Amino acid sequence: MKTSAVTLALAAIPVAISASAAAAPDARFMRALDKLDPKTRLEQICDLEAMRKMSASGSAGARVDRAKSDVIMPPQHMGNTLVAKGGAYRAGGKWYQMSFTCKATPDHKTVLDFSYKTGALIPPAKWQTYGLWK
């Protein structure tokens, strides 16, 4: 795969993820997933599931518009399961710590099981260190 194709695929994902977290993944997002390596695909589908679950449950206090499994520490890949102990999510313009375990189908396109815990507010002074944004 050419670098430009990977770049385009990655560029499409934030657009799809920033759409309504309660909606099912749209066709553009699913096509973009096809262009990613399996590990990245698993992270993206699990990040989307984190957004959907937290927004639907109301546990975040506001709609979650971003989720990243790799903010404070890289997630662990165990076959079709992703364990993220150092993730973060954004809700109401603020970033918070989170951890989750996400099990997906072998093609890493569908989440089969997902559990999460929300954590402490990440102070804006640490956002740049963690690669976070407003």
Beta bridge partners of 68: 88
* pLDDT tens by residue, 88-124: 999 999 999 999 999 999 999 999 999 999 999 999 9
Whether the pTM exceeds 0.75: the reply is yes
Under 8 Å between Cβ of 93 and 65: no
* pLDDT 10s digits, 20-79: 444 556 888 888 999 999 999 999 999 999 999 998 888 767 889 999 999 999 999 999
Structural domain for 42, as ranges: 3-130
CB 80 within 8 A of CB 105: yes
Number of structural domains found in the chain: 1
Q: Are 87 and 75 in contact (CB under 8 A)?
A: yes
3-state DSSP assignment of residue 116:
strand
